[in-house]
Amino acid sequence: MKKRLLLSLCLALTTFAAEAPRPNIVFLLADDLGRADCGFMGGKDIQTPHLDKLAKAGAILDQFYVQPVCSPTRAALMTGRYPMRHGLQVGVVRPWAQYGLPLEERTLPQALKEVGYETAIVGKWHLGTFQPAYLPLQRGFDHQYGHYNGALDYFTHIRDGGFDWHKDDRENHDEGYSTHLIAKESVRLIRERDAKKPLFIYVPFNAVHAPHQVPEDYLKPYAQLKGNRQKYAGMLAAMDEAVGQISAAIDEAGMRKNTLFIFSSDNGGPNPGQITDNGPLRAGKGTLYEGGTRVVAFATWDGVIKAGSTVKAPLHMVDWYPTLLKLGGAKLEQKLPLDGRDAWPAITQNAASPHDFILLNTTPSNGAIRMGDWKLVLGGNIADNEDGGGEAKKKGKKKNAATKGENVELFNLASDPNEKTNLAASQPEKVAELRAKLAELAAQAVPPKSIPMEKGFKTPRVWGQVD
């Protein structure tokens, strides 16, 4: 009798799983957001009521990792593979770059589109535009709206003399503040979607990335802040407002019960302590320290993800690719092997991290890896990029006589999450273990595709114009 009941229960659960509707997916990506700037992460300077509400309805991903800068993070999301496999591990894809995310990569929207999803990108692409084949509509998106490159003017939509605002991969001259336009188009697509299909809408805001620009009305509530910190606060408030409009559109469409919201920053905040706030984490954007790679993130799905929960398991942006494919019913088998792992048990069942290690990056000049609670950083104190953590700029490059002048840092993140105590000298065996794994991964990396910036680039251009 017990066996019969157990069999019946198993069959019922299997049937439910097979018949369970695939979720709509709203993936919200902020640009250069400080880890501690939102209210739900303890921020007090800036009001983020809409993000706070969404976060509290789901799970905060407390140890969520990305790449030190934005193009690599986007490549990780789109493919479930570390950017060192794409040659995108160094820097970002500049407007004039003659490369992009390799065409042999299967992308997240392509995989979801294969199983019937309607797919849209509204915001910043930043993965290559030098040929039409690299544009969003050729990479799996049914709809495209926004800009291809970073750091554009929020009002004129110009970057380095080139106009960069597009709709369905054609030049578009909608006027307005870019965050407002992104919100408006996202809402339109939600309202006008094909209701017979699940929706994947990827909203990579250019906010709160420089240049620091925002309509004057958003500055008034932050008169106590000064300079770019005040402008940044207004920019974040405008982005929060946009998230509220997108969330309301989901509610109005009756989609809430079957919609997964995901929110993350693409890297840590630049200039922490001056413009952004990464909390007590060390350094910021462009560095391999926690302040550059461990970011603000949450996942919310009413009735599926426990409201008010916190996920402590270390996860990485590459994990969303296999996780979303499984939720959407797409096949994981593909030509190129994945680095990402299914994060759903960690998010919904408090399971351990699916990773034995997380590669934070490997380049010809530096690298970092996390294994369990241990983290190894090589070359991390070399001066940061132009808007990184600032710490290395003050201290300069440190040398360690025990490692022949090479800068080697080892941290135990369980006891030292803010990376204050370098244990490399006292833990040589642990250093050797992590170095061996990092070297193994470095040997698999393809050469970086980045090329030096073309000085004096002033020629007006329209990137990706399709005739």
Q: Are strands 24-30 and 259-265 parallel, antiparallel or unpaired?
A: parallel
Secondary structure of the chain as H, E, C letters? CHHHHHHHHHHHHHHHHHHCCCCEEEEEEECCCCCCCCHHHCCCCCCCHHHHHHHHCCEEECCEECCCCHHHHHHHHHHCCCHHHCCCCCCCCCCCCCCCCCCCCCCHHHHHHHCCCEEEEEEECCCCCCCHHHCHHHCCCCEEEEECCCCCCCCCCEECCEECCEECCEECCCCCCHHHHHHHHHHHHHHCCCCCCCEEEEEECCCCCCCCCCCHHHCHHHCCCCHHHHHHHHHHHHHHHHHHHHHHHHHHCCCHHHEEEEEEECCCCCCECCCECCCCCCCCCCCCCHHHHEECEEEECCCCCCCCEEECCCEEHHHHHHHHHHHHCCCCCCCCCCCCCCCHHHHHHCCCCCCCCEEEEECCCCEEEEECCEEEEECCCCCCCCCCCCHHHHHCCCCCHHHCCCCEEEEECCCCCCCCCCCCCCCHHHHHHHHHHHHHHHCCCCCCCCCCCCCCCCCCCECCCCC
- Residue 70 known to be catalytic: yes
What does the alpha-carbon distance between residue 212 and residue 234 come to, in Å, rounded to a whole number?
9
Taking the CA atoms of 107, 109, 112 and 116 in sequence, report the sign of the dihedral they define: negative
**List 50, 126, 143, 209, catalytic entry:** 126
- Residue 212 known to be catalytic: no
Asked whether the beta carbons of 81 and 340 are under 8 A apart, the reply is: yes
Taking alpha carbons only, the member of 346, 365, 372 closest to residue 437 is 372
Asked whether the beta carbons of 400 and 407 are under 8 A apart, the reply is: yes
Tell me the β-bridge partners of 275: none
Asked whether the beta carbons of 230 and 222 are under 8 A apart, the reply is: yes
**List 50, 70, 86, 355, catalytic entry:** 70
Q: How far is CA 196 from CA 82, 149, 192, 202, in A?
A: 34, 33, 12, 19
| Active site positions, annotated | 70, 126
